Amino acid sequence: MLSREENDILTRVGPGTPMGQFMREYWVPALLSSELPKPDCDPVRVMLLGERLIAFRDSAGRVGLIQNHCPHRGASLFYGRNEEGGLRCVYHGWKFDVAGRCLDMPNEPPESDFKHKLRARAYPCVERGGLVWAYLGPRATPPPLPEFEALALPEAERSNFASLVECNWLQALEGDIDTSHAGFLHWGGIAPEDVTPDTFLYWAVKDRAPRYEVVDTAYGVMYGAYRPAAQGYRYWRIAQFLCPFFTQTPEGVLGYHAVFKAWVPMDDHHTLAFSVRRRVLDALGNRQRFSVEGQSSKYPPVRAARLPNHTGWFGRFRSEANAENDYQIDRSRQRAGDYTGIPGIQTQDQAMTESMGPIYDRTEEHLAVSDVMIIRVRRRLLGALRRYETGEVPPGVDQPELYLTRSGGVVLPEGADWIAATDELRRPFTDHPERLERWV
């Protein structure tokens, strides 16, 4: 359990808060590139780390992320004209480029040089891996981008996804590093006889109480959750937490899969989850799959249907199944053997984390052995925050290569050193396709 003060420190992300300042040292995913499909397209409202910002793509294709309120008299730049290399406020015609420079003040006398003295708050943006990354931190020259393997994949081999979660970033992230819940929330209706023997899913549903080993890393925390597999072997699910809000979940086959998720705080009560992953082909190579846990007609779909985006601050990537309709829970299906009655893995996760409230009061929780990864990540973040306040650079900020690691499932002999035995498999850009065919 956390103290109330520790809970507040970890969950509050607005400007000037300890965690907010810590996160601003990193490049932060802000949008999918596809949200700004072409030069001079419609601007997009972006809530990011408690700030209301406007994203736009200028005539040259560059992306800008600028303050919502025009520096003149505060009208929203969302209503601006995106034209000829800048965003023009329609109130008085003041125009700003992607760097926040004022290009034009048409209601001022021609001899005025005021436009050269004024600047809107704007944040550097770069595009990589289908994402728009923004730097909101204090450095005049931003640090390098993290070098996730998935970011280097060609577009045809990469899947990008985003989803709004209506709760604090930390409880959303903690659901992603909690592997034991999968045996119940996602696979609770699957029995061992429902799936192919000697596959990852078979072992996972045969033993729903994995044991854990957890280690600190230079970039965050890594866990290995293991359970019995074939005689003399163990099935390991290896996953990563990477500062400040990235995860690599253990779905797929270690040595092949490339994935990361970013649990980006919009504000204290809303999170935008970005996922970038390698497209995985099944044995026939004729359809795309996002998990190779095993095969079962009872395995729930990963993604939920979406509501159409709207232009509000929280109008992007909303699930059709949500709190207002009880996440479309079907009690008759639940009674008939569907463990939750809630359709889809993503919706199941969202229902649980949002049901805790906007920010869960962690002084009320009772942690168990299965929460060892969650406990360690909290300690790691609190320790990194304390060191940051004394002047230490946050983990990974200046070492982008630290993010070149992997997650996934693997079968190892009993007694094997799981860290040493998976060292090569966790190295990026070293494909082992034979492993994919063995365990699908």
Is the model's pLDDT at 439 over the cut of 60?
no
Q: Please enumerate in sequence order all residues whose Cβ is within 8 A of that of 387, keeping only pairs 6 or more positions apart, or say none.
A: none
From the centroid of its chain, how far is CA 418?
A: 26
For residue 64, CA distances in Å to 52, 267, 291 come to 14, 20, 35
Q: How far apart are CA 346 and CA 119, in angstroms?
A: 41
pLDDT at 438: 54
pLDDT at 302: 74
pLDDT at 297: 65
pLDDT > 90 in the chain, percent: 89
What does the pLDDT look like over 244-262, one tens digit per residue?
999 999 988 898 889 999 9
Q: Backbone dihedral region of 107: left (phi > 0), alpha (psi from -120 to 50 degrees) or beta? A: alpha
Is pLDDT larger for residue 431 or for residue 307?
307
Is the model's pLDDT at 285 over the cut of 50?
no
Longest dimension (CA), the chain: 85
Domain residue spans in the chain?
27-135, 149-439
pLDDT at 296: 62
CATH topology assigned to domain 27-135: Rieske Iron-sulfur Protein (2.102.10)
pLDDT at 283: 36
What does the pLDDT look like over 373-413, one tens digit per residue?
999 999 999 999 999 999 999 999 999 999 999 999 999 99
Q: What's the pTM?
A: 0.94
